[in-house]
């Protein structure tokens, strides 16, 4: 094809209109990704903020001045030196989490909001550490992080930035302080070990005392039970002896009512009387006897008379 014809065809009105429409559409249609925002300027002045989706701009007049991410961002805060309330120098670093709430303020309120918020986190951290003693920085780290976040949010409001949280990664005191802390921790561990040992000895002593007390109580109860059993046995023995004596007396009484029993009683009384006289004779040389009681026969006769009178009185 002739080049002149080709050039004339390219610059023909229909083709030119098509190309112009394509260029217009390219500059007027903007697709904003999710969780991002475009700051639009018109003639160099802020015009609007376009969020995710399909957006139309005035071609050659509106332009994208800034592309801001609305996602949560994590920025490493470099290590820095800080002095505590008790004049101890520390080296502290951390991580800052924030996000852009207002793309307009983030674009026009500060030149570089990431750098600004990082510097603000460092200065705020030094300020908050200066209000606390060394021991508190380790014990109350959560409170320190919360105070830093609160202070940064107060200062970063005009920048359209919201600080979500701040986390301290490492707190490094001087080597001399570290040695002193290690010695203190060692002393605390020794102290706790001694306390636990003493508590164990105390509990063991209590257990031994309780065991001795219980054994004494059991021994006393056993002795008491033994005495009760012994007393019951003695009582039963006394009752048995009394019953045997009563039974013997009853049998003696039954035999005394017979003729043979009377003779046996007379013989027994005579024998006992003779034994009594022999005993008295051994002890003394003077013997007093009642009238008519000069021989064993008279004594037996008197005893027989007494028994007969008793038997007659016992009969109805």
Q: What is the C-alpha separation between 169 and 12, in angstroms, rounded?
A: 68
Between vectors from CA 149 to CA 145 and to CA 152, what angle results, nearest 5°?
135
Are 28 and 58 in contact by the 8 Å Cβ rule? The answer is yes
Query: Residues 108-138: pLDDT tens digits?
Result: 888 888 999 999 888 888 888 888 888 788 7
Three-state secondary-structure class, residue 70: coil
Query: Residues 66-93: pLDDT tens digits?
Result: 888 899 999 998 888 888 888 888 888 8
For residue 97, the model assigns a pLDDT of 93
Q: Residue 44 above 70 pLDDT?
A: yes
Q: Residue 304 above 80 pLDDT?
A: no
Q: Residue 9 above 70 pLDDT?
A: no
Q: What is the mean pLDDT of residues 207-221?
A: 86
Q: What is the mean pLDDT of residues 147-167?
A: 88
Q: Which residue has the tokens 């101890």?
A: 88
CB atoms within 10 A of CB 266: 16
């Amino acid at each position: 094809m002739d080049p002149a014809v080709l050039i004339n065809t390219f610059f023909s009105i229909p083709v030119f209109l098509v190309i112009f429409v394509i260029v217009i559409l390219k500059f007027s249609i903007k697709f904003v990704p999710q969780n991002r925002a475009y700051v639009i300027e018109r003639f160099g002045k802020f015009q609007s903020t376009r969020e995710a989706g399909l957006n139309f701009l005035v071609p050659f007049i509106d332009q994208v001045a800034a592309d801001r991410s609305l996602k949560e961002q994590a920025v490493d805060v470099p290590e820095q030196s800080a002095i505590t309330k008790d004049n101890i120098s520390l080296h502290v670093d951390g991580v800052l989490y924030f996000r852009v709430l207002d793309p307009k303020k983030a674009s026009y309120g500060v030149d570089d909001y990431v750098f600004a918020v990082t510097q603000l986190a460092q200065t705020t951290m030094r300020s908050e550490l200066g209000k606390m003693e060394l021991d508190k920085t380790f014990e109350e780290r959560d409170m320190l992080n919360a105070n830093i976040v609160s202070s940064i949010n107060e200062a970063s409001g005009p920048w359209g930035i919201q600080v979500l949280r701040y986390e301290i990664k490492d707190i490094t005191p001087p080597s001399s302080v570290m040695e002193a802390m290690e010695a203190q921790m060692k002393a605390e561990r020794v102290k706790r070990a001694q306390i636990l040992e003493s508590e164990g000895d105390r509990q063991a002593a209590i257990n031994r005392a309780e065991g001795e007390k219980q054994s004494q109580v059991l021994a006393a109860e056993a002795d008491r039970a033994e005495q009760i059993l012994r007393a019951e046995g003695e009582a039963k023995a006394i009752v048995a002896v009394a019953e045997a004596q009563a039974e013997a007396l009853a049998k003696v009484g039954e035999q005394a009512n017979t003729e043979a029993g009377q003779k046996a009683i007379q013989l027994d009384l005579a024998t006992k009387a003779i034994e009594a006289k022999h005993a008295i004779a051994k002890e003394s040389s003077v013997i007093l006897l009642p009238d008519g009681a000069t021989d064993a026969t008279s004594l037996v006769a008197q005893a027989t008379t007494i028994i007969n009178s008793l038997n007659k009185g016992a009969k109805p």
